[in-house]
Structure 1
Amino acid sequence: MPNSLWLQSAYEHEPFPPLQEDIHCDVCIVGGGLSGIANAYYLAKQGKDVVLLEKDSLLAGATGNSTGKLTTQHDFVYANLINKFGREHARLYYDVNKDAVEFGRSIAKGDELLSANSILYAQTKAGEELLRQEAHAYTELSIPGELGRNSELPIPILSTLMMEDEAQIHPVRFGHTLAKLAIEAGARFYEQSDVQTMDFNDRFLTLKSAAKVHFKNLILSTHYPIEALKGIQVLKLAVDRSYIVSARADIALTGQYISVDSPKRSIRTAKIDGKTYFLLSGSSHTAGVEGNTTGHYERLYADLKDTFRLTSFITGWSAQDPETPDLIPYAGKITTSLPHVYISTGNRKWGLSNSLAGAKIISDQIVGRENPATALYAPNRTGFGDKLLQALKLTGLVVKEFTTGHIARTDAPICTHMGCRTRWNNAEETWDCPCHGSRFRKDGSVLEGPATKPLDLS
């Protein structure tokens, strides 16, 4: 499988042990990405006894395969948020993500975090109109931004919308620094600790090792919530997969860019140990619906060569991003009937700031502190129409893929989540399910949920 630039350049560290014995804790966190680690840090700092379980290796999932942008500029979003939620809540979304950026600045070491201007750019008249709408939203919300033509990219650009002094991070090094701080505060971390069953009434988890974790509160930070939640969230999340390629570069950009036009492109540079790297991402599609994904990498590598004159290719990788129907992630209590179970998911493509923001919301709930964004990020918030529409779209996809998959791909293994036929992904060397985005390694083991059981490859 491809390995991201961030994972290739991670700090050397001793792996955390797998959990082999029964333990008790105040809070059990399932998922060792930035969201889970941030929750562990916040709660351990508040004196909670915290246990974090990761089924593979810390930060090797969504966080380690991200673009590493820590910013409040989340594509064309604030105009939509005003229309959906009103000015007050749109501004609140900005505020909690701005706090997340500042939190990142407060704990990052060395070049784990660098300042960069975040820039939306348009190459068409339609894109220019979107930028004007977004700039108007900035003005309405008193968000600092500059509409103009600020670009250092060798591509034709009609206009840009810039937020100055945002941040970009090395997400894996940053995550390990935060994990170290969480452990110093008393949190316990375990890797290679795969959850098999959950008992919400008696409040314990059983791992593949047969060890049990007894908890008072449970946080599911698994990117896509575990199937055991009775489908409460499964039909509310679309899952998108996008691709990133990297190359050595001579000069670092002062900005980090994302296009509002199609095809979508995200551009930034990274400084790692004195070397500069250029990152280009885009070419997204619904997760699991394509088998020959090599073409997505080839198009991005061609862009690196033809447009940016870069040929010292380093590596390419992909990321998977669940999305809620209304753009706001889910972070909080899963439902009033399970007040001790929390989820964090649906961060779209902006999981770094939203992971930190969501962790603050959840940890505040657990320690009994007021957080103004609790209702905004609540998984059970209103907006049934949007959710129903999304559910119908996903249900239709499931029915289609279940039928055609079993007829056309009779030799492909069956996904252990809902019985759809998987599809072999030749570039990633994974079995991908088109129904809800589950992914499995070549040996059948689960790479990404909602599936929790391995494929039968016999």
Structure 2
Amino acid sequence: MNEPLWIDTGYPRDQFPEAQGSLRCDVCIIGGGIGGIAAAEQLAKAGKDVIVLEKDRILGSTTSHSTGKVTAQHDIIYSKLIKQFDLETARTYYQANERAVRRAREIARDDEARPLDSILYARTPLGTENLRKEWEAYKQIGIQGAFVNETELPFTVESALSMHDELQIHPLRFGQRLARMAADAGARIYEDSAVRKMNFKKRFVELENGGDVTFSELIICTHYPLVGFQNLNIMKLQVNRSYVVAAKAATELKNQYLGVDADSLSIRTAGIDGQAYLMVSGSNHLAGMKEETGENYGELSEHMRKHFGVTDVSHRWSAQDPKTPDYIPYVGRLTEDLPHIYVSTGFRKWGLSGSLAGSEVLRDLIVGRPNEAIQMYSPGRTGFGAKLLQAVKINGLVTGELATGYTVRLDTPTCTHMGCKTRWNEGDRTWDCPCHGSRFREDGSVLEGPATKPLKL
């Protein structure tokens, strides 16, 4: 399987123990990505006794497979939020994520982060029209930026929209620093501690190794919720997969970029220990819907060669991201009937700033502080039309995959989550499930949930 640049260049890893025996805590967090670690740091600083449970190594999955952008510029989003909700919702979303950018700048050292502008670019008239609408939204909200018709990119663009003074990070190094801050504040972090069972009423989780953790509050910070809880609306999370290639470069770009057209690409550079790297990402599709994913890496490598003259790809990796129907993540109480159970998911490829923003929401919910973003992020928020449409679409996909999977791909392993047939991903050498995005290593072990049990090969 392919190795991300970040894992290859992270700090020496701290060793966290395996959870054993019977443990107790105020807050148990399942998932040791940036979302779980950030929530642990915030809650431990607020005086809570916190335990983090990670089934593998912390920060090794989604966090280390990201592009490392920490920004409130989440593609074209603010004009959509104003149209779908209102101006105040769009402003609240921006302020929550911009606070996350500022917090990241305060935490990070120079070898972990670099301030710069985030820029959206368009190469078509339709893209330019959409950027103009987004620029109008920026002005209504009060976002500092600029609408221009040229960039430093080595190809022609029709227009571009900048958001000033954002951030890019080395996500693993940054996460390692945040984990140390969480531990120093008293959080107990455990690795190789997979959860086997959760009992919401009795408030404890059982571990695969036979241990257990009793909690007062539980936060599920896994990339995709572990199981299909009742009322979670699990079918309303669409899972998309994207690809990244990286290569050594002579210089760094001044800013970081994202295209807004149908074939849009994300472009940034990273300076790591004196060496510049160029990163190009994109080539998106629904998770588990493609077998020959080597083609996706090839497309990105060709773009790098054609426009930047770089041919020696040193790293390549892929990531998948859940997306909610209304663009806003689910962060908060699972349901009003289970006020002590929380989820954090659906960040739509913007999980670094989103997780940092979400950690403040989770902290304030649990300690009882006011936060204007709580209602906006609530998993129980209303908004019938878009959600119903998305639910019908994805329910249809699951039904189709259950049927065709058993009639066309009889020789492929069955996903241990809900019985869909997996597809072999040749580019990453993984088994991918097209129904809910579970991924398994070549030997059948779980790489990403919601599945928790290995494949039977």
Give the match for residue 49 of structure 1.
49
Q: Structure 1 residue 431: deviation in Å? A: 0.7
Is the counterpart of residue 315 in structure 1 residue 312 in structure 2? no
Could you tell me which runs of 5 or more consecutive residues in structure 2 were left unpaired when the two chains were aligned.
none
Matched residue type, 1:182: A
Give the match for residue 448 of structure 2.
448
- State how far apart, in whole Å, the 2-side matches of 1:427 and 1:380 are: 37
Matched residue type, 2:220: L
Among all aligned residue pairs of Structure 1 and Structure 2, give the percentage whose two residues are the same amino acid.
Answer: 53
Q: Structure 1 residue 416: deviation in Å? A: 1.1
Give the match for residue 105 of structure 1.
105
Matched residue type, 1:15: Q
Whether contact under 8 Å (1:34, 1:175) holds in the other structure is yes
- State how far apart, in whole Å, the 2-side matches of 1:164 and 1:366 are: 33
- State how far apart, in whole Å, the 1-side matches of 2:419 and 2:217 are: 31
The superposition leaves residues 173-207 of structure 1 with CA deviations (integer Å, 9 ceiling, x where unpaired) of 00000000000000000011100000001000000
Whether contact under 8 Å (1:150, 1:162) holds in the other structure is no
Give the match for residue 89 of structure 1.
89
- State how far apart, in whole Å, the 2-side matches of 1:128 and 1:150 are: 12
Q: Say which SS state the counterpart of residue 353 (structure 2) adopts.
A: helix
Whether contact under 8 Å (2:73, 2:118) holds in the other structure is yes
- State how far apart, in whole Å, the 2-side matches of 1:231 and 1:211 are: 28
Q: Say which SS state the counterpart of residue 173 (structure 1) adopts.
A: helix
- State how far apart, in whole Å, the 1-side matches of 2:443 and 2:45 are: 39
Q: Say which SS state the counterpart of residue 10 (structure 1) adopts.
A: coil
Q: TM-score, normalised by structure 1?
A: 0.98
Give the match for residue 246 of structure 1.
246
Q: Structure 1 residue 231: deviation in Å? A: 6.4
Q: Say which SS state the counterpart of residue 222 (structure 2) adopts.
A: strand
Whether contact under 8 Å (1:225, 1:233) holds in the other structure is no
Q: Say which SS state the counterpart of residue 25 (structure 2) adopts.
A: strand
Is the counterpart of residue 6 in structure 1 residue 11 in structure 2? no
Q: Which moves more between the two structures, 315-324 or 381-390? A: 381-390
Give the match for residue 342 of structure 1.
342
Q: Say which SS state the counterpart of residue 413 (structure 2) adopts.
A: coil
- State how far apart, in whole Å, the 1-side matches of 2:68 and 2:332 are: 24
- State how far apart, in whole Å, the 1-side matches of 2:150 and 2:248 are: 24
Give the match for residue 233 of structure 1.
233
Give the match for residue 156 of structure 1.
156
Give the match for residue 365 of structure 2.
365
Is the counterpart of residue 428 in structure 1 residue 433 in structure 2? no
Give the match for residue 305 of structure 2.
305
Q: Say which SS state the counterpart of residue 371 (structure 2) adopts.
A: coil
- State how far apart, in whole Å, the 1-side matches of 2:388 and 2:7 are: 38
Q: Structure 1 residue 308: deviation in Å? A: 1.0
Give the match for residue 383 of structure 1.
383
Give the match for residue 213 of structure 2.
213
Matched residue type, 2:208: K
Matched residue type, 1:406: Y
Whether contact under 8 Å (2:228, 2:234) holds in the other structure is no
Where does 1:172-211 land on structure 2 (aligned, <5 Å)?
172-211=172-211
Q: Structure 1 residue 312: deviation in Å? A: 2.7
Give the match for residue 114 of structure 1.
114
- State how far apart, in whole Å, the 2-side matches of 1:233 and 1:355 are: 20
Q: Structure 1 residue 349: deviation in Å? A: 1.0
Whether contact under 8 Å (1:198, 1:228) holds in the other structure is no
- State how far apart, in whole Å, the 1-side matches of 2:426 and 2:230 are: 32
Q: TM-score, normalised by structure 2?
A: 0.99
Q: Structure 1 residue 444: deviation in Å? A: 1.2
- State how far apart, in whole Å, the 1-side matches of 2:382 and 2:58 are: 34
Matched residue type, 1:137: A
Q: Structure 1 residue 323: deviation in Å? A: 0.3
- State how far apart, in whole Å, the 1-side matches of 2:15 and 2:285 are: 34
Q: Structure 1 residue 384: deviation in Å? A: 2.1
Whether contact under 8 Å (1:322, 1:348) holds in the other structure is yes
Give the match for residue 404 of structure 2.
404
Q: Structure 1 residue 140: deviation in Å? A: 1.2
- State how far apart, in whole Å, the 2-side matches of 1:393 and 1:15 are: 43
Q: Structure 1 residue 232: deviation in Å? A: 2.0
- State how far apart, in whole Å, the 2-side matches of 1:190 and 1:346 are: 24
Could you tell me which runs of 5 or more consecutive residues in structure 1 were left unpaired when the two chains were aligned.
none
Where does 1:127-142 land on structure 2 (aligned, <5 Å)?
127-142=127-142
Matched positions, count:
457
- State how far apart, in whole Å, the 2-side matches of 1:10 and 1:401 are: 38
Matched residue type, 1:60: G
Matched residue type, 2:391: A
Q: Structure 1 residue 455: deviation in Å? A: 1.1
Q: Structure 1 residue 150: deviation in Å? A: 4.0
Whether contact under 8 Å (2:193, 2:209) holds in the other structure is yes
Where does 1:14-93 land on structure 2 (aligned, <5 Å)?
14-93=14-93
Q: Structure 1 residue 21: deviation in Å? A: 1.4
Give the match for residue 288 of structure 1.
288
- State how far apart, in whole Å, the 2-side matches of 1:384 and 1:263 are: 30
- State how far apart, in whole Å, the 1-side matches of 2:390 and 2:123 are: 30
- State how far apart, in whole Å, the 2-side matches of 1:226 and 1:70 are: 26
Q: Which moves more between the two structures, 306-315 or 270-279? A: 306-315
- State how far apart, in whole Å, the 1-side matches of 2:293 and 2:228 are: 30
Matched residue type, 1:350: W
Q: Structure 1 residue 228: deviation in Å? A: 5.3
The superposition leaves residues 397-456 of structure 1 with CA deviations (integer Å, 9 ceiling, x where unpaired) of 011111111111111111111111111111111111111111111121111111121111
Whether contact under 8 Å (2:150, 2:158) holds in the other structure is no
Is the counterpart of residue 267 in structure 1 residue 267 in structure 2? yes
Q: Structure 1 residue 264: deviation in Å? A: 1.4
Give the match for residue 124 of structure 2.
124
Give the match for residue 356 of structure 2.
356
- State how far apart, in whole Å, the 1-side matches of 2:263 and 2:15 are: 40
- State how far apart, in whole Å, the 1-side matches of 2:26 and 2:446 are: 28
Matched residue type, 1:218: L
Matched residue type, 2:360: K
RMSD over equivalenced CA pairs, Å? 0.9
Q: Say which SS state the counterpart of residue 232 (structure 2) adopts.
A: coil
Q: Say which SS state the counterpart of residue 343 (structure 1) adopts.
A: strand
Q: Say which SS state the counterpart of residue 197 (structure 1) adopts.
A: strand
